[in-house]
Structures are given as C-alpha cells and as structure tokens.
Structure 1
Amino acid sequence: MVYFVGAGSGAPDLITVRGIKLLGKADVIIYAGSLVNKELLNYKKNGCNVYNSATMTLEEVIEVIVKAEQEGLTTVRLHTGDPCVYGAIREQMDCLDQKGISYEYCPGVSSFCGAASALNLEYTLPNVSQSVIITRMAGRTPVPEKEDIASFAAHQATMVIFLSTGMLEELTDKLIEGGYTKDTPAAVVYKATWEDEKTIVGTVGTISELAKKEGITKTALIIVGDVVAHTNYERSELYNPAFTTEYREATK
C-alpha cells in the first residue's frame, strides 16, 4: 500500500495525527527533502528505508514504490504542506493506477494556512474579500496564459502567490498592471511555521525591496489584498444577534 501524506507547513507538530501514524508504520518513506522538515523522520520506525525525492526523478520514485510493493512493504510518499497544491501527485497516482498499485491520500496543513497563522490573518473578511486566489508566477515552469497574474489581479480578491519570491519585481508590475495600486497591503511570509519563520508586511509597492533587504528569495509566500490590513471589514452575520440562523433566533 502507498500513502501520500501531507507533512504540514513546516513545524513538525503540524502534521496530522493520521500522518504520524502512517509514518510510524511505513517500511519505506520517500520525502521531499528540500522542503519537508527532517524532524518528521523521527516518527519512523526502526529499519525504515528513507529516500530523499529532491534528488530523484518521477521514474526513480515510482521504481522505489514498485520494488516496495513487490516485497509487500508499506510506502509513505511524504510531501510538503498539503500535496494537492503544487505537489505533483496526480502524475504519481496515474503511474500507480497503470501498474495496479493501491494508494490513499492523507491531507496536510498547507503553507498558505501556515502563512495566515503567522500573520493572524483571515483571508475572507466580510465586505473586503470572500475569495482566495492561489497561484504562482510563470518561471522556468509555465502557467496557462489565461491564468496570468494580471488577469487574476483584476478581481481584487485575496491572492496567495506561491513559488514567486525570486521574481518580486516582475510580480509587482503584474499586480499593478492588473489593477492593484502600489498602496494595496501585501505581505511575504518566509518558511511559515518553521523556527526561522520571517514575516514582512508592506504594500504591493514596497514588498520587493523589503524582501530584498531581508535576503528572502525563495521558500516564501506572497499575500496580496486588503485583508492583510485587518481593517474596514464588516462584522460576520454568523454571530450577529440580529441575524437568525438554523440554530438560533435573532434576539434584536
């Protein structure tokens, strides 16, 4: 059996209870060594074989899994955050489907959730933004033309931008081209929930220079939108005494 497990956003105690149990019973662990906290390997059992996928190709990963299956072993494929976001898991699952190998997927805490915790941030503030756009800049790996940063910026929703910290100047231009002003609140969160986490809060016009001063060029998220400022939002109707819900009648 193969288990795709989300390692969480960085802190070793932010993996799920299910994820810890799966690590503890794995005979083989293939982990994304460039991003996953190595302290999570402390949950493995004695005799577990560990592979670092940072130095492996897809074909090499599948080869290890197939060999483990032939030997009747349990494999955990440990991905950073939640692997549904930029985890490249579908291509692995397709390979396993072709070979008739069973697998399950254990979700994790994505780094965009970890970044929100670092900033005490709510992405969906009433009357400010009720949508979150998760995206990235086109770099060595392209993105579909219809998903250009500027086209998303036109919505003025909250944006969480992965894999783009090394292109902040270009990103700033794209955001402004799409409709954000230079004064739009923005933040950069480096290694969210890790011990060396850093947060930078500024604006679309300042975050590139601020990140440069801190030497942040990778392993960070950029958050753009008025929610970063925590201001000018309306109270939620959910707990409003004047609002009737399925469980509570309005009291005034």
Structure 2
Amino acid sequence: MSEAGRPPDRQATAGPVIRRGDQIDGRTTDQRLLEGGHSWMHDDPWRVLRIQAEFVEGFGALDELGPAISMFGSARAGRGTPEYAQAEYMARELVSRGLAVITGGGPGIMEAANRGAHEAGGCSVGLGIELPFEQTMNRYVNLGVNFRYFFARKVMFLKYAQGFIAMPGGFGTLDELFEALTLIQTRKVMDFPVVLFGSGYWRGLVDWLRTSVTGSGCINPEDVDIFHVTDDPDEAVRIVTRAGAGPD
C-alpha cells in the first residue's frame, strides 16, 4: 500500500475532536491559551465558551456518579510491577465498598486502578487530557470524559471524590496531590482523606515538608498531618472509606 493510502498511525484528541496524521496540530489547547498573542482580544472571549462547555460536559457526565475515590499515579508503571498490582487491588476493594474509582484514564497506575474497578463490576471513571504526545483512554474505563484544559479536569477530580490515594508518580501526580492538600489546609474542603501510598517513594518529600518547609515557617507543623502515609493497601482503603474520615 502506498504512503498516501496507508491509514495514519498517530492520533490526537481535543475534547470530542479526533485528529490523525497531518491533521494533528502539534500544540495543545492549553498551549494556545497560555501563549497569547496579538489576537487575544478576539480569541480569548470565545475560549470562555469552550471552557464553559468543558465544565458543563464534565458536570453532566459525573453528576450521578455517587461516592468515589480518585487514584493518582505514574503512567509509566508497567503491568507486572508491584505498584500496578497494588493499585488494581485497592480499586477492587473500593468497589466492594460501594465506591466508584476515578483516574486520569491513561496507562500505568491509572490503567491498573481502572482495571480493578471495572473487573470488580464497579464504575471505572477516566478523566483524559489532551497532550502533545499520544495517550488514549485505557480500555478499562467505562465512563470517560476527555478534557482540553488541565484546570477543568482537576475540578472534576476534586468535586466528585471523597478522598485521594496518591501512588508513586511524577509532576502530574504531585500537581493533583498538592491541589488537594491546599484545599484542605485552607479549609476549602473538610474531612477529605489523602493517602500517600509507598513510604519509600514519598519519604523524601515528607521529610522535606517537615524540615525545610515547616522549619522556614511556610506551613504550620500540623499541616503535615493532613495526609497519611502507608505501605498497606488495606489500610489505605480503610482510611479513604472511613465515614467522615479526616486526619488522625
């Protein structure tokens, strides 16, 4: 088959739009928003409508979700790793307690959590995001919403979850984790349990918060107690499913 007749092997999504091959722009909607330019007076007011539409779509899809836990973690954790198995197990346990499981809908830890929830017969939610590199919704998501804007997606993670489990992960995981911790610290939300799973992975961060950040007066000592650290999957599930759960 000639190159012209061969189906494109690359795909990118932007909200409901799918682009393949030479139709891929290479820039994300977030990039276009933040880059600005001389046409901002004409473009940005119209972007508000697109942003509004993302919120409406997300609220509409998740409004009847019921109690849920958001699970975060690396997209790079492969099948067969301990982290993958632990995320899958915890998601199964959450479903057995009547909870839905929310992830970013991608591979790695996200896939593991969605897989556990789906195979346990629960609601497996994926909140996808437009990225400059291909990342499709994993096949274990049974309720998925794709977002153009990170900030709209983050609202959905927070609004529809009653707790967080943060597995080892990168900048995205840290971003979502600290968003939740900030809301608790500033009392924008109450009784919102957060678990950092994997003490070896999180130890350096926790020590830095207790020494450098607390020691410099940037946070109060009690602020470091608004999350829990554990290596026990059953303990993590107990913490986030405890009625009215708050920091110990």
| TM-score over 0.5 for the pair | no
TM-score normalised by length of structure 2: 0.31
Structure with the largest fraction of strand = 1
Structure with the largest fraction of helix = 2
Bigger radius of gyration: 1
TM-score normalised by length of structure 1: 0.31
